[in-house]
Amino acid sequence: MFPRVVLAPMEDVTDVVFRRACRSVGATLCVTEFIGAEQIVHDSRIARRKLARPADDNPTAIQIYGPDPDLLVAAARIAARAQPAFLDINCGCWVPRVVGRGAGAAWLREPAAMIEMAKRVAAVTELPVTVKTRIGWGPESEMPIIDLARRLEDAGIAGLTIHCRVATAGHSGEADWSWARRAREVVSIPVLVNGDVRTADDAVRALATTGCAGVMIGRAAIEHPWVFREARAALDGTTHAAPTISERIAMYRMIVDANVEQRGVRLGLGVSRRHVRVLGPLLDEVTKKSIYSALTVAATHAVLDGLLSAPDNPLAAVAM
């Protein structure tokens, strides 16, 4: 069901343009930004945008979230019509505006309610339904993930992604992959390990440590989407060259052009700046300021065109 390396769902990041960018460098399976159940049911503009998938955006899973089981069930029925690879329920987002509504990781406060909700969602579609969650809400004494994994499998959930931190930790501290191993050992469904998988070496270590079916990579992909091809190569026992300067420039150029085509110039350029870190070592303060102040596509391309021609750019000589 899962490949060994998967692009994680990230709000305001994993839209169709970024999924395509990651897929071009090895991310075979991607997950959408999370989509509010209420937004889906009410057919909001945001939901329509997030649900839309062109023909080349496959395989992609759709992630839904919300605090209301009835709305999640209704949203699952609607989202299934888009024929994603599977549906995923977000039970792991720790952001206060999400958990404050009772959604995301807030479900971990009420494991019994979480199980019942997941069972209902899984029952309304023939598509596989998975859950992305954390190892618990707060202190170690309240980490229910092992028991939850068993009960979620019994409820009909087809796979799990486990971010190996508690919800209250956010992104602080180190992810403890051993919890993914312990959960994987008590279920027969596939488990993905998530959290602090930043490099190809991390992917290899995470799978060797946990025995999980795969890794899910999130934040590391924002500035280095090439992590997918590097991780896949490492897992196959080979290596893959780091991206060249020309590749980095081409990647950002593609992101800009696709976002402008989809959203118009002003919004498209603004959304693209979220991904400016793909330029890596080229992104000094002068370059960043120039890109942020460019108000047209032509001006943005001019900045990119000038990066390698600058006489004082020490990277120009090694660009390929």
Active site residues per annotation: 93
| CA separation for the pair 191, 1 (Å, rounded) | 10
Nearest CA to 158 out of 87, 208, 108, 218 is that of: 87
- From CA 52, how far away is CA 263, in angstroms rounded? 13
Output 316-320 pairs: Cβ under 8 A, ≥24 positions apart. Answer: 316/245, 318/245, 319/244, 319/245, 319/246, 320/244, 320/245, 320/246
Beta strands in the chain (DSSP E): 5-7, 29-36, 60-65, 87-91, 129-136, 159-166, 191-194, 214-217
Q: What is the dihedral of CA 56, 17, 14, 285, to 10 degrees?
A: 150
| Six token digits for residue 95 | 């952001």
Return the structure tokens found at 70.
């009835």
Tell me, what amino acid is at 319? Answer: A
Angle at 213 between CA 24 and CA 26, to 5 degrees: 10
Strands 129-136 and 191-194, sheet pairing: unpaired
Inter-helix orientation angle 297-309/285-293, to 10°: 160
